[in-house]
Amino acid sequence: MSDDSGTDFPLSRKLITRLPAWIDEMANLLPAPKKVHVDGGFQWEWPIHNADVVQVNKAVRMASGIAAALQLADLGFTTECAVLLRTVSDFGAEILFLAEGLLEGRMIAAQEKFIEDHFKPLPKSPEELAAREREYYVGRRDILKAHERIAEKARGSGAKITGVDMTMIAAYLSKGYDSYVHGASITTMELYSGKTHRFMMTGHESAKHRCIAKTSVAGKLHEVIAALEFMAITRKLPTLTATIDAARCELTSSNEQSGAPCDGLV
């Protein structure tokens, strides 16, 4: 297992290191978490439960996740990188889902339910878990519907893609990443080596495969930054919004999401 980090995808690496400061600025607008004693120990909890808190929680996990995904790609754990990117994408989608309600000044029922479920404590017994499994949970379809509505409103500002087109593309990409989460055969066979006739379980040997994984990280980083930009907008932070928007445009203008850096690799 070798680590080939540090030189390729320089913009993505730089922007990933900037994510924590942006999120901290928005987290600092909230009342500080409190230490709550439970079962002989303690845990940190937010003193308020609302959409802003949920977004910050998701943003923290999103930033941590994409940083870890890049490290996995550097080490050659390409399939596990894809698994992590799937969760990163979910966090970003959920941030946008709640951003719609914040922009509108009111939450629809699905958004209110999502916020409520986010703060539910873990079940304390198998029976409690079984009872919960019969409950309705807000799913991807509800979340993507909000994206569709946002996209349709953006068309009035000159956006070319329709809301339906956007959700179809998102569902298509998610299907591919789902195959990694569920261990589809095709994802396992990516790790098979025709040279050794063994599976590469300690890091992919192909420089191209590693590069493709990093290209995926750069692509998901665009989703991450867009989600944070929506957070800054809903919090009426114009300086931070402009900073994040400039970073998103810089990433879009780079070739790091295009696959071009992988040309010529094997």
- Per-position b or e across 178-211, b if 16+ CB within 10 A of its CB: ebbeeeeeebeebbeeeeeeeebeebbeeeebbb
Judge whether 191 and 210 are in contact, CB under 8 Å.
Answer: no
Give the Cα-Cα-Cα angle 119, 174, 206 (nearest 5 degrees): 115
- Run of H or E including 91: helix 78-104
Half-sphere exposure of 51 (CA within 13 A, CB side): 24
Report the distance separating Cα 152 and Cα 163, nearest Å. Answer: 5
Tokens of 68: 């870890």
Q: What are the pLDDT tens digits along the chain (266 aa)? A: 556 667 899 999 999 999 999 999 999 999 999 999 988 899 999 999 999 999 999 999 999 999 999 999 999 999 999 999 999 999 999 999 999 999 999 999 999 999 999 999 888 889 988 888 777 889 999 999 998 898 888 766 666 778 788 888 888 889 999 999 999 999 999 999 999 999 999 999 999 999 999 999 999 999 999 999 999 999 999 999 999 999 999 999 998 999 999 999 99
Judge whether 257 and 219 are in contact, CB under 8 Å.
Answer: yes
Nearest to residue 97, comparing CAs of 87, 88, 108? 108
- Run of H or E including 16: helix 10-27
Q: How far is CA 218 from the centre of its chain?
A: 12
Q: How far is CA 202 from the centre of its chain?
A: 25
Q: Cα dist. 124→119, 131, 230 in Å?
A: 15, 12, 36
Model pTM score: 0.93
